Amino acid sequence: MSKKPTAKEATTTAAIDHAQAPVNARLTPEERIELFRKMVRIRRFEERSLRAYQAKKIGGFLHLYIGQEAVAVGCCSLMGPHDHVITAYRDHGHAIAVGMDTKPLMAELYGKATGCSKGKGGSMHYFDPSRNFWGGHGIVGGQIPLGAGLAYALKYKGLKGAAMAFMGDGAVNQGAVHEAYNLASLWNLPVVFVIENNGYSMGTSQARSSAGELAQRAAGYDMQWGQCNGHDVYEVRAMMDKFLTLARETGKPSTVEIDTYRYRGHSVADPDNTYRSKQEIEEYRRTRDPIQLFQDKLLAEGVLTPALAEQIDTEARAEADVAADFSEASPFPTPADIQTDVYWEADNPSERRSQGRLFFT
Amino acid sequence: MPVITYREAVRHALAEELERDPNVVVMGEEVAQFNGAYKVTEGLLARFGPQRIVDTPISEAGFIGVGIGASMLGIRPVMELMFWSFYSVAFDQILNNAANVRYMSGGQIHCPIVIRGPANGGTNVGATHSHTPENVLANHPGVKVVVPSTPADAKGLLKSAIRDNDPVFFLENTMLYGEKGEVPAGEHVVPLGLADVKRAGTDLTIVTYGRSVLHSLAAAEVLEREHKISTEVLDLRTIRPLDFDSVLKSVAKTHRVLIVEEQKPFASVGSQLAYMIQREAFDELDGPIHRLATVDAPAIYSPPVEVEQLPNPRRVLQAALETLA
């Protein structure tokens, strides 16, 4: 039933060498290595978090990004000071891509007070406004109007920037997404709607869930749109640079559908044995792994050496272990912490203007 | 003191806050060019321009979500819902995103948005347009809920709401828009979470809010005149935060309590109040707490019968006499 083309069917000879796109051609060797390093760090972080989950250190859901790393890293590597990011619950990759430290990220999964949301949000709810990262949202498509709202604020304040509002392919059928499309186009809001199309909305393939082409729906809202291969970080950057520039320079929104693939189930609760074959997953791993492909490119460019690649991987594994150790050693929040961070006024009592009871028993 | 309508009072609060803070934006269906579905925002477009007074499509989930996102970056949107009844199509935005984003981010984000509009029955528009969701809203920690009954309170509380750094849901009433009252000119701010004794009395406390305050005051007149019963009418004004100290003070004075609310009875604001009063003032009570609510059914259309479904002076009077029986 899968509409997702298998790796064999997909075109593997890129018509354009995206490394030559200006946004990539001007990258220094150090910057290229940093892109590679971020992707490796995301993967090792997530693999480590899965082990922690299996060891029952982590509760709830864990939606792994493994296989999709080039999307978040490629997109977020283009961020300027007034560019903003918001995404759904598969958010670990974006958090690392915008520069969040992996220790508080892992600690959040462990439910510890040292977590990035003090153990109050969990895996699906990472935030770091200081890095223009606005979550981390649990309801499919619910974050997309917020992304348009970030763009609204940029426009209102006259700032030259863009918001990137990420969603999965399953989100495109939610009403909130379409309402946001309409408002963004009607009001010329500088937002790029990014569909990370991994082929499956949970366990339902694109063919079984969505009529027509996903990105093309933007045309109905008079928005420009594009599609690209998300297994190649250079291609992601080339495509996103075009639409981020459009947003920053003209205020126009757009929709970009990035073809990608997740190796793991929808979440750890997904046994992943009902809707796709092991062979399909293996084929992607073998032929289209974004980290392997980029490593091969950088080796060919002479930017990376096998020894350096090995070193980066070793360091990423060590970093993930350090994050896990940090989390292990960190304290849980206390029951008294349950009722902080609910109201701004309660957290800032000297500036409170209202009276009366805010909490009830 | 100038006498103005509730509608004008809301408008004055909007205009003064738009004047005071350049980050305040008024947004909603028909708020600008149409001058407001209920004319609350009349004249604001001409005065403040389309950057500040923004017409939206009929797209509540979309535009409320945009307002929430913009508020995270420091804009202070005042969103109009033509009817609060339409909150249901934006429920995820209002009660997942606005209510929870501060908590889920460990306090890194706050969301200074106001969502305002009428929430009432009594206008013969049937069940879909007659919701009074203050109990549903107040059930979500992180939000504030305000239900003003008079022009002065509407103005003073809305100014506080717009200056508040938490999401504030402001529930007006189409049946009150034309009601007149004295409102101080210029800066008039009523803090959220402060109840108001609208009529002092010694025999019975009616705890109420919104339009039911007017019905309760009318009933209190009859109780005084025909039954020699002195009734205290306590207007909560704000549901969350809740000025429960004022409730306790009044109960300690009268020892008899009737709660009047334009709410369906199950798990209503009154249910919460009754629990709290019995828990904290049990020894002050000389009889069971009574409650008068909307008759428990979807809002009926039939005009004369809808009057009997909602609290009204006759029903309040009867409930008061039963409370004292």
DSSP bridge partners of A254: A192, A224
Does residue A342 lie within any of the structural domains? yes
pLDDT at A58 over 50: yes
Q: What is the per-residue pLDDT for B233?
A: 99
Helix (H, G, I), strand (E, B) or coil at A275: coil
Say if the Cβ atoms of A356 and B63 lie within 8 Å.
Answer: no
When scoring A125, A181, A360 by the number of chain B Cβ atoms within 10 A, the one with the most, hence best to mutate, is A360
CA angle B139, B141, B147 (to 5 degrees): 60
Dihedrals phi, psi of B146, to nearest 5 degrees: -125, 135
ipTM (interface predicted TM): 0.96
Query: Which domain, by its residues, includes A324?
Result: 18-351
Say if the Cβ atoms of A153 and B25 lie within 8 Å.
Answer: no
When scoring A127, A159, A166, A188 by the number of chain B Cβ atoms within 10 A, the one with the most, hence best to mutate, is A127
Does residue A328 lie within any of the structural domains? yes
Say if the Cβ atoms of A354 and B104 lie within 8 Å.
Answer: no
Tell me: the pLDDT tens digits for A189-202?
999 999 999 999 99
Does residue A9 lie within any of the structural domains? no
Domain-wise residue ranges, chain B: 3-182, 196-324
Does residue A10 lie within any of the structural domains? no
Centroid of chain to Cα A136? 9
Mean pLDDT of A29-44: 98
When scoring A124, A132, A143, A146 by the number of chain B Cβ atoms within 10 A, the one with the most, hence best to mutate, is A146
8 A C-beta contact, residue A318 and residue B203: no
DSSP conformation letters of A5-49: PPTTTS--S-SS-GGGSHHHHT--HHHHHHHHHHHHHHHHHHHHH
DSSP bridge partners of A200: A205
Q: What is the per-residue pLDDT for A15?
A: 63
Tell me: the pLDDT tens digits for B156-186?
999 999 999 999 999 999 999 999 999 998 8
Q: What is the per-residue pLDDT for B185?
A: 86
DSSP bridge partners of B196: B235
Q: What is the dihedral of CA B72, B73, B74, B76, to 10 degrees?
A: -60
Which residue bears the tokens 């409102």? B183
Distance from CA of A112 to the nearest CA of B (A): 11
pLDDT at A2 over 80: no
pLDDT at A12 over 90: no
Tell me: the pLDDT tens digits for B128-144?
999 999 999 999 999 99
Same fold? B3-182, B196-324: yes
Does residue A165 lie within any of the structural domains? yes
Cα–Cα distance measured from residue B318 to residue B110, given in angstroms and rounded to the nearest whole number: 45
8 A C-beta contact, residue A237 and residue A24: yes
Say if the Cβ atoms of A343 and B142 lie within 8 Å.
Answer: yes
Mean pLDDT of B239-263: 98
In sequence order, which residues have a C-beta less than 8 Å from that of residue B178 and are 6 or more positions away?
A: B5, B6, B7
Other CB atoms within a 10 A radius of the CB of residue B263 amount to: 24
Q: Which residues of B are catalytic?
A: 129
Q: What is the per-residue pLDDT for A204?
A: 95
Least-confidence region, from A4-13, A105-114, B285-294: A4-13
Mean pLDDT of A251-261: 98
In sequence order, which residues have a C-beta less than 8 Å from that of residue B299 and are 6 or more positions away?
A: B121, B125, B126, B127, B129, B130, B306, B309
**In this complex, which of A86, A121, A359 lies closest to B104 when CB atoms are compared?**
A121
Q: Which band of pLDDT confidence, cut at 50, 70 and 90, is reported for residue B231?
A: very high
Q: Which band of pLDDT confidence, cut at 50, 70 and 90, is reported for residue A10?
A: very low
Other CB atoms within a 10 A radius of the CB of residue B143 amount to: 23
pLDDT at A1 over 50: no
Q: Which residues of B touch A125 (CB under 8 A)?
A: 104-105
Structural fold of domain B3-182: Rossmann fold (3.40.50)
Residue A113 corresponds to which tokens in the numbers above? 């007070």
Mean pLDDT of B17-23: 98
**In this complex, which of B25, B62, B106 lies closest to A120 when CB atoms are compared?**
B106
Q: Which band of pLDDT confidence, cut at 50, 70 and 90, is reported for residue A213?
A: very high
Q: Which residues of B touch A345 (CB under 8 A)?
A: 164-166
Cβ contacts from A onto B, under 8 A: 193
Q: What is the per-residue pLDDT for B282?
A: 98
Question: Of all residues in chain B, what percent carry a pLDDT higher than 70?
Answer: 100
Output the average pLDDT for chain B.
98
Say if the Cβ atoms of B25 and A154 lie within 8 Å.
Answer: no
Q: What is the per-residue pLDDT for A8?
A: 45
The bridge status of strand B238-240 relative to strand B144-146 is antiparallel
Cα–Cα distance measured from residue A277 to residue B191, given in angstroms and rounded to the nearest whole number: 61
pLDDT at B193 over 80: yes
8 A C-beta contact, residue B292 and residue B259: yes
Say if the Cβ atoms of B66 and A152 lie within 8 Å.
Answer: yes
Helix or strand run (H / E) with residue A205 = strand A204-205
**In this complex, which of B62, B69, B142 lies closest to A182 when CB atoms are compared?**
B62
Say if the Cβ atoms of B65 and A139 lie within 8 Å.
Answer: no
Q: Which CATH class is domain B196-324?
A: alpha beta
3-state helix, strand, coil in chain B (%, to 5): 40, 20, 40
Say if the Cβ atoms of B164 and A152 lie within 8 Å.
Answer: no
Q: Which residues of A touch B68 (CB under 8 A)?
A: 145-146, 149
CATH number, domain at A245?
Answer: 3.40.50.970
Distance from CA of B101 to the nearest CA of A (A): 9
Question: Of all residues in chain B, what percent carry a pLDDT higher than 90?
Answer: 99
Say if the Cβ atoms of B65 and A176 lie within 8 Å.
Answer: yes
* Phi and psi based region of residue B27 (left: phi greater than 0; alpha: psi -120 to 50; beta: remaining): beta
User: In chain B, whose CA is at the least distance from the CA of A112?
Assistant: B106
Mean pLDDT of B70-95: 98
Tell me: the pLDDT tens digits for A313-325?
999 999 999 999 9
| B:49-68 residues touching chain A, CB 8 A cutoff | 51, 56-57, 59, 61-68
Does residue A358 lie within any of the structural domains? no
Q: What is the per-residue pLDDT for B44?
A: 98
